[in-house]
Structure 1
Amino acid sequence: MKWFTGSINDAVATSKSRKAVFVVFVAGQNEASLEVAKVIDSSEISTRLEQDDFVSVKLDSDSESYNFFSQIYKVVPVPSLFFIGTNGAPMEIVADDMTVSNLQMKIDSVLNRVEKAKNTSNDFIKAEQDSTVGNIPGPSTAVVSTSQNNLSTKTVTTLSDTNASSKLQEQDKIERARKLIELQRQQKAEEEKEEEKRRELERRKSGRDVQIARQKQQELEIAIALEERAKEKAQEFAAKERVRQQIAQDKLERKQREQALQKQANQQQSQEKTKNDVPIVADGMTRIQFRLPSGNSHLGKFESTTTLRELRTYVTTNIELPFKRFTMSTSFPRRDLSAEDDSKTLTDLELVPTAVVLIIPLKNTTSIVTSSQGVGFLSRLMWAVFTPVISVYAYLSSYFTGAPVGDSNRPQDNQDEGSSSNSQNRDQSFGNLRRTNSTAGGNIHRLHSGSDNDNDENNTWNGNSTQQM
């Protein structure tokens, strides 16, 4: 099938100029459209539609021309075949039962209707022309009527008048014909003008429709672009949120791993500490080193449940001390082990598994007080007499031996002090008298006395005159 190759407007103009039927085939992408196209492409149908009586065009259902065509003709089935007359009205619409025989019948029907319309128009024009010519009488008829009515001598004059009137009638007829032709020309010009206006309106309408379609297409593209942008933003936000969640999860996992490693390290340290501690106290024994003021030491092994009282008893019975009364304390941290702690075990005193205990001598203040109670007036008098001598002796002794001068070098200003103070000063003075032997070792001097029973004479002194505890 050979379709019209120009535009729709050109096809419409061609059909009107040729006074041919405008044929429009609306096709789609479905199977029915393909079947109808095969029927139209058959030789029986295509040869007839390619004649000069038809101007055939094909419209696709997804084209702009189809949209414009559907706006003019509201109901446009797909597929369908329109036969449109010169006045723009559909003469025949075929939408179903498109077989070769049916289309041939439709084409014949359309051609018959077109032929009848042409014949009717020609008959009407001929009748108008005949009626115009019939109203003008012929010259012979005028002569006969004149001869019958006027048989007078004025026949020649009447004939001449009749000839003149006939000439006037012919001129009138010619004038009327000219006017009729002019009128027809004007009508045709007006029709062409109206047709031109209609074409212009259709062209403008088509342009507006195309512009509206383009605007809608642009709006649709903008909406699609905005939707795509919104989707991209949503995806980007979701990706960032996943990254943040992943970072938070990684931080949490790293923190958990660090805590687990720290816990494991603490457990290992505690286990190692337990392993290191277990062999020492596995037998339940505690090793304690006793240190004496002389620098000697003694190592003892005890049960962890041994009390401090038992520890004192062990010191008294197993260690030879140059003094009877003593107290015990730890070296580091420095803590005195008093009588209140005698009932506590070594574990309670934190002396397990090993510890160092210092043995420190105590002064026998009780004996001093007891001896001072029997001193009377005579003894105080003797003490007042011998005190200057003893002071001089103590000074000389300290000068040659390097020992510090004690309280005996001070003058006794107050003779009315209590018996306890007098007895202490007396004991110190006699102690200075008894310090006749000394042993020097470096800058440390150790003083010896003749009696080992006096606890006040068993202390050691360094070169700075401070007692070593």
Structure 2
Amino acid sequence: MKWFEGSVADAISSAQQKRCLFIVFAADEQPASVSTQESWDSDAVGSVASSSVALKVTPGSDSYTQFTQIYPVTIVPTSYMISPLSGGPLEVVQGTASTDELLAKLQSAQEKLTSAGSAMAANTAGAAPAQASAAATAPAPQTASGAAASTTPAAQQPSNEDKIAKARELIAMKRQQRQEEEKQKDLDSELSRRESGKKLQEYKAQQKSREASDRRKEMQREKDEADRAREEIRRKIAEDKAARRQKQSGSAAASASSEPVSATAAAAAAPSVARPPSLPSDMARIQFRFPDGSSLTEDFSSTTQLSVARQFVADRVSDRFPNGFSLCTTYPRQELTFEVDDQTLQELQLSPRSAVLVLPKTTGKQRRGGSGAGAATALSPDSGVWKIIMIPLLLLQAIWQWLTGSAASSSSPSTPAPSGSQAASQPMPQASSSGDAAEARQRRGRGPETGSSFGVSKEGRVNRFKPNDGGDEDDDMGTWNGNSTQQQ
């Protein structure tokens, strides 16, 4: 394809002079434009359009802007085949076009152009004889009228303005037709879009249905596998139980065929599962625990007296405890003395099971020390005997303190007599000298003896130093709280 090199106006003028087809191809660099460009450049299309004026415009160029002002381009690529006579488009190809499609459009446009040219030639030929006959029949006028008659045929020919108006009408008609075609195309595309959307929704629904079906199948498969695994485990458990029962029955038959052993050895060698889970209600199982950590278990009747259990322990641990032993319960801790030997194990709450501690007895020296400790405990400050002894002594101490306090200072209150366990815990009062009494008065906050330069006045629990000579009253602000700490 040979493309015209020049502006749109030059291309239109060339097509009008040659009275050939005017082709305009709007294209960009996209694959659709490249494919259509290859179709235009093919030999078949080039041979058919060799007599036409072909112009290629690209978006953004001046030629494209000038062309779109008259012929709007909505889709790129677009091919226009325009008539040079009327200026209207004969064929329009939008989008990608193949070689065959372009050939068909070119042939259709050339046929339309040929028919339009023939019609215009016929109209021109019919108008010429009519003008000639009118000129022959008309009488010869004067010179002025002859001049007017000579100008009549020229006036009857269509002027350029009429041609332009007609071309504009044709362009408006084609534009309206193109707009209707675009509306129809938009409607078709909208229907196609809705149809494709409907198909897409149907496809998604089918896909969801397939996924749900696959999930159900997968869950069923996992459930079947879990059931099979559970059945396999149950089968193995049943086989293990059967093998265990067979082994136990074989060991029982072997033990029955062997020599009988003693009852004690048989009871020790019997498996723990052979023992009954609980003792009869009339039996008592006692575990005797020793200081070294060992233990001894024996079953007695619940009506058995404690002396029988004590004798049972004595027969087996006489070499361990040469000084004797004593029995004690674990919790609550209580010694089982000889006084309760005539009581039964059930009465002592040692049935059906219990643990008893076997402890060695202390020596005579330890027992004597224990009796002395008991005497000291009897004479402890909390005992009643000690309180009875201390009551008169406390009364005497209170009287003595009152007398010594009155003699020393009339303003000093007497010390109240202690009561209860505090009085009992105080030591016996001893006679003291006058110096000791003064020290005691100083400790009690009564101040020094007469002759000292300071005195003490007490208000509640606060002691105040006050000079005896009536010094500055500001010294009353100095206080002493009895703990040698200064208060401001």
Smaller-chain TM-score range?
0.3 to 0.5
Between Structure 1 and Structure 2, which shows a larger proportion of helix residues?
A: 1
TM-score by length of 2: 0.34
Return the index of the structure with the highest Cα Rg: 1
What TM-score do you get using the length of structure 1 for normalisation?
A: 0.35
Higher relative contact order (CA 8 A, sep 6+): 1
